[in-house]
Structure 1
């Protein structure tokens, strides 16, 4: 038997779904409750996350590159292809991000030992210091963003979102 719970106050998505239900009662609008809320959360989270990245003069993409290199472990370097695969962006996008980070002194780029055309990107000491500070701030920020949930709710939501993600097409389309 489910525990008694008070439903949350209606929100903007409830209002939108209610309007559609009034106009199109023939439609099953239950997915709109989920997708609408995920979309709104994405926009709100994006704004809050970017505030942290901006504190370190980083865009989301540059943060992602630094974080990927840092979590790869010593010697904190990856080939351009490994970096592209780990960040799920195009090689052109990786190049632009790495160019900016290299100009800022946060990464170095050199030819790969086994492929003169390939490149290895390595986190500099300065880059490691920046990402270590930024990731601390980032995790505190994310913790605050989900602080409205209990530990059990957070675990349940994590499992549900993982399951939902596994039902989507692998190529995003």
Structure 2
């Protein structure tokens, strides 16, 4: 075990569980527990950044998705729904709030005259970009003291882990194999 000054929150939790349930392998906490902890630590800053631009996290997800889609910053509700992986009712509610705020408008679909696409307004483009730029600056600042080579290594390992977990969770129940 590392020296106490080198232990983080997860090390302390893991030690407590090891004392209480010594037969249980708690090593997954070393990875997933730290990812969860890091997410919880940065979430308030991310949400405050979006709020300073008049957006909540879900609204930013919509305007950010539209903004990164490229000109003309327009997607069908189905494309948005699939990209965001949320319930259709949640999307409808978000779109209503964003339209009322003047950040999106509904325009006739180029492919289907019976439906409406969702398009960012000029203000929506501005706010999505401003919020994202500020968020990236905050995130860069949070990891600024971390060695650049270690950042690259960690990013590669996390990508590999993400792909493995996505593949594992996409398997139909009962088809998972022990490795």
Alignment of 1:1-173 (within 5 A): 9-168=6-165, 169-170=169-170
SS of corresponding position for 1:167: helix
Q: CA RMSD in A?
A: 2.1
CA distance in 1, matches of 2:163, 2:139: 23
Distance in structure 2 (CA, Å) of the matches to 1:133 and 1:140: 11
**CA shift for structure 1 position 103:** 0.3
Contact 1:75 1:122 in 2 (8 A): yes
- Alpha carbons of 1:8 and 1:163: their partners in 2 closer, same or farther (altered >3 Å)? farther
What TM-score do the two structures reach when normalised by structure 1?
Answer: 0.87
User: Aligned partners of 1:150 and 1:161: how far apart in 2?
Assistant: 16
Q: Which runs of 5+ in 2 are unaligned?
A: 174-179
Q: Which runs of 5+ in 1 are unaligned?
A: 1-5
